[in-house]
Amino acid sequence: MSASHIPGTTGAGAPATAAQRGPLPPYLPRWPVPGLVRILAPTGDRLWLVTRFALGRRVLADPGFSRAAAVAPPAPAVHPLRPDPSSLTSLDPPAHSRLRALVNRAFVPQAIAALEDGIRAEARGLLRRGGPRDLVRDYTMPLAAATICRILGVPEAERDRFAALADLGHALVPCTPQESEAARAELHKQFGRLIRLARREPGGHLLGALVRAHDEDRALSEAELIALVELLLNAGYETTIGQTGLAVLALLESSGEWRRLVADPGLIPGAVEELLRFAPVVPISFTRLARQDTELAGQPVRAGEAVLVSLLHANFDLPDDGCPGVLDVRRRTARHLSFGHGPHICLGARLARLQLRTALEELVAVCPGLSLDADPAALRWRPPEAIVRGPTALPVSW
């Protein structure tokens, strides 16, 4: 596989595509690279990085690699911020299995499908205001905000304030670390208010379903319930903004692929999978710790050593396809690990697909002549240390 097959690299002097031209964590290696490589994280810790699809699936599904042990303070870490050890994403079975089964009640297919009309109406209304404009500021951000507010049952009158806090809390707008921390603290208070509101007026939103699981079955503790609300926001807002921006940018640079979607919108569901593969918004998996001595790709991995998967590299490891570095909306083999794999596979994957599909369908319908009004090399991006990738501005016209 050539160097040009992986985002952020160059091969034979050819630039990487604009969708992947943004900064990447410096510890991610460039192709060619072994299936397992030792990396030095910004924390100063050394970890094992898996770069192959099949090996990544094995690690992500293998109970021999613990997520809970990886969030404990002594464990090697790739990022200086330690996640909440009680969060769903930080648990191992059986604690994870119990909580996951309860949360799944709120993510049944019917509940996700019921969100489509609202997402579509919001997208259409945003686009009909006309261009040129910044697609991130004027489309992906307000569309993601409207959706997460519906999911959490945020009252209409409070949505602008909630979205502003979310933007600050995730540093999606210019702010100081102190401002971001203060916004996160205020959001935490808001979560308690939303839970109390959902008790009085359950409605049909996903938070209402979680509150019912808590109140009727006593299956969730209050702390678990608040942690889940925070997880819904963290996993369902920033990632949606970044993924939609990456997808649109990839399509606009590969203008022939954009024109294919305009000519045949029926390609969009398959294109969603290809775009998730080609431009993943999160380049690496959560870290896991080996429970015992084992072997990966012929290398000994000792108990207590940390392992993570490069979702980015794995997505470009397509042995049956000679052109993984080419965006192809007609691709039938767009397998990827962008949502992870195994017990911790992304809870909101169905919702993420729905949001991206709907955002693209409305763009194609309302803005068939969409074009980028900036040099892709000059676009502003989230910093390389950010967990979630994406352009912070996308000037376009139609």
| Pairwise pLDDT comparison (108 vs 44), residue with the higher score | 44
CA separation (Å) from 372 to 41, 134, 249? 35, 10, 8
More confident residue, 162 or 320: 162
* pTM (whole model) above 0.95: no
Position 334 scores a pLDDT of 72
- Alpha-carbon distance of 42 to 70, in angstroms, equals 16
Q: 290-308, pLDDT tens digit by residue?
A: 999 999 999 999 999 999 9
Beta strands in 137-291 (DSSP E): 288-290
User: How many Cβ atoms from other residues are within 10 Å of residue 5's Cβ?
Assistant: 19
Domains identified in the chain and CATH numbers: 3-397 (1.10.630.10)
Is residue 29 within 8 Å of 37, Cβ to Cβ?
yes
Give me 224's structure tokens: 């678990």
pLDDT in tens, 143-155: 999 999 998 999 9
- Output b/e per residue, 276-293; b: 16+ Cβ within 10 A: bbbbbbbbbbbbbbbeee
pLDDT of 375 strictly over 50: yes
Burial 134-153 (b: 16+ CB within 10 A, else e): bbbebbbbbbbbbbbbbbbb
> Distance between CA atoms of 85 and 75, rounded to whole angstroms?
12
pLDDT at 42: 92
Say what the pLDDT of residue 332 is: 82
Question: Quick one: which of 290, 283, 277, 265 has its CA closest to 357?
Answer: 265
Task: Report CA-CA distances (Å) from 33 to 49, 236, 334, 340, 375.
Answer: 10, 32, 22, 21, 30
Among 53-62, 72-81, 352-361, which stretch is predicted with the lowest mean pLDDT? 72-81
Helix axes 349-366, 238-253, angle to 10 degrees: 40
Alpha-carbon distances of 78 from 48, 235, 362, rounded to whole Å: 10, 19, 38
Mean pLDDT of the 266-280 span:
95
pLDDT for residue 11: 33
